[in-house]
Structure 1
Amino acid sequence: MSEASQDQAPRGGRRFGTGEMFDGIAERYDLLNRVISLGLDQGWRRRAVRSLELSPGATVLDLATGTADLAIAIARAHEVKVIGVDPSQGMLGVGRRKVEAAGLAGRVELEVGDAQQLQLGDASVDAISMAFGIRNVPDRARALREMARVTRPGGRIAILELSEPRSGLMGKLARFHIHTVVPYVGGAISGKDEYRYLQDSIARFPPPDEFAELMRGAGLRVLRVEPLTMGVVCLFVATPEGA
């Protein structure tokens, strides 16, 4: 979500993009993702997992882990330890049930935390993933600096984020989906109006080249920026500068 929209208060007093807001939609969050993304979100996560280029025994930090979809995908694909961090207790509660059901409780740990102030030492993790969460961070540059700090030299950082194509037929279709379909379907399924913030947050998120420049300014060397599904989503892959 954009910094501007975070200051708005949805019904019930929860601020957009906060852990409190996501507590309110946690039980329907996975269904909403499947419907709103037309079922494509799991494939996007698999692409992010591959981009981490993990070795057995690695420690991976999954920021904005939510209901642990990406954390589970990483642990299923590789014999690694995953630490999932999120500000929403409600989302983590759903995630813990999913981790237990997947038989991954020994390798996936979920805890409350803030991407802007990680409780981890320098160069303490081998890789970082983050799916559809950087929009919701008030100080994105600070969060990116934290990623650069806690990732070991040569480790990979993979960030997935929604994007709004700016031109062409796909751009028109994507804008219609974001501005009309997402708020209507999200509200209908969840019974809450918080999902209406998506149209604003996606539109306000910087274009891929600008966000890549923000990453560079935070001490990351951007390895590639990969548009997915004709630019509806972007995968940013980086490593700490100097690695």
Structure 2
Amino acid sequence: MGQEALTTVRPGSGEFFDAIAKRYDLLNRIISLGIDQGWRIKTVRALGLAPGMRVLDLATGTADLAIMTARRSAGVDVVGIDPSREMLAIGRTKVSKGGLDTRVTLLEGDAQQIAQPDDCFDAITIAFGIRNVPDRARALREMVRVGKPGARVAILELGEPRSGILGPLARFHVHVVVPTIGALLSGAKEYRYLQTSIAAFPEPETFAQQMRDAGMADVKVHPLTFGVCHLYTGRVPEGAR
């Protein structure tokens, strides 16, 4: 899919990410200066996983978080869901090369309408994907639906720091560095969407309240790297439905 095709699809959709799938991992490493892997480690740790548990990774993309979850959690199975076929194809190659075919399953799907039964996952994650979901409230309610009572939810998302001594530098990175590097490496001017979606994401406490409104309990906000990224954690309560 070329640059012309990108203009006909919704920014942030599965088709949008199909077009940049081959360079997505490289872009993540460069744009985040390699820090994104450390953020994912913190996300996995927040889940408190034990052998026999099942984890759902929404917006799994090329399966970085799904693979890390399986590697760092013995006896845990992961189901990754994403709307981009090209991202999933790359993810399946990575899963196979890592010898994780029996523990990591990747499926095409939508976070707003998860094709999984009620109460079937012990933990749910989504990294750098919730801002691309048109109806976030619906996606958050779906997480509550498919999570078992007590299931932990961990949402990793970028944001634009609005205060602090490093705020101006971080905003420069988001507004100038991210779209410039993205456009150069991906060959798509539409990669500027990443910058606009980060800037448009709600304030941390506003999004945390959206998680509570969807039915999650014990919601907490964990700023990472001077607020460039936040880890949001919560829990599916007993009698959530």
Shift of 1:169: 2.5
Match of 2:212 in 1: 216
> How many pairs align?
235
Inter-CA distance 11–155: structure 2 relative to 1 (3 Å threshold) = closer
The equivalences for 1:55-204 within 5 A come to: 55-78=50-73, 79-204=75-200
Shift of 1:57: 1.0
Q: Residues 99-155 of structure 1: CA distance to partner in whole angstroms, max 9, x if unpaired?
A: 001110110000001101111111111100100000000000000000011111111
- The answer to whether the Cα contact below 8 Å between 1:215 and 1:222 also exists between their aligned partners in 2 is no
Shift of 1:10: 7.3
Q: 1 CA distance for matches of 2:65 and 2:182?
A: 21
Considering only aligned residues, what root-mean-square deviation do their CA atoms show, in Å? Answer: 1.3
- TM-score w.r.t. structure 2 length? 0.95
Q: Give the partner amino acid of 1:193.
A: K
1:231 aligned onto 2:232: no
Shift of 1:241: 3.1
Q: Percent of aligned pairs with the same residue?
A: 60
Q: 2 CA distance for matches of 1:209 and 1:26?
A: 31
- The answer to whether the Cα contact below 8 Å between 1:21 and 1:194 also exists between their aligned partners in 2 is no
- The answer to whether the Cα contact below 8 Å between 2:211 and 2:219 also exists between their aligned partners in 1 is no
Inter-CA distance 106–175: structure 2 relative to 1 (3 Å threshold) = same
- TM-score w.r.t. structure 1 length? 0.94
Q: 2 CA distance for matches of 1:154 and 1:140?
A: 21
Inter-CA distance 177–132: structure 2 relative to 1 (3 Å threshold) = same
Q: 1:49 aligns with which of 23, 44, 51?
A: 44
Inter-CA distance 163–12: structure 2 relative to 1 (3 Å threshold) = closer
Shift of 1:200: 1.0
Match of 1:3 in 2: none
Q: 1 CA distance for matches of 2:8 and 2:130?
A: 22
For the residue of structure 1 that corresponds to 2:10, the secondary structure is coil
Shift of 1:13: 1.7
- The answer to whether the Cα contact below 8 Å between 1:58 and 1:126 also exists between their aligned partners in 2 is yes
- The answer to whether the Cα contact below 8 Å between 2:60 and 2:126 also exists between their aligned partners in 1 is yes
For the residue of structure 2 that corresponds to 1:62, the secondary structure is strand
For structure 1, the residue ranges without an aligned partner over 5 or more in a row are 1-8
Q: Give the partner amino acid of 1:23.
A: D
For structure 2, the residue ranges without an aligned partner over 5 or more in a row are none
Q: 1 CA distance for matches of 2:166 and 2:207?
A: 21
For the residue of structure 1 that corresponds to 2:165, the secondary structure is helix
Q: Residues 54-98 of structure 1: CA distance to partner in whole angstroms, max 9, x if unpaired?
A: 010110000000000000000001121100000000000000000
Q: 2:25 aligns with which of 13, 24, 30?
A: 30
For the residue of structure 1 that corresponds to 2:166, the secondary structure is helix
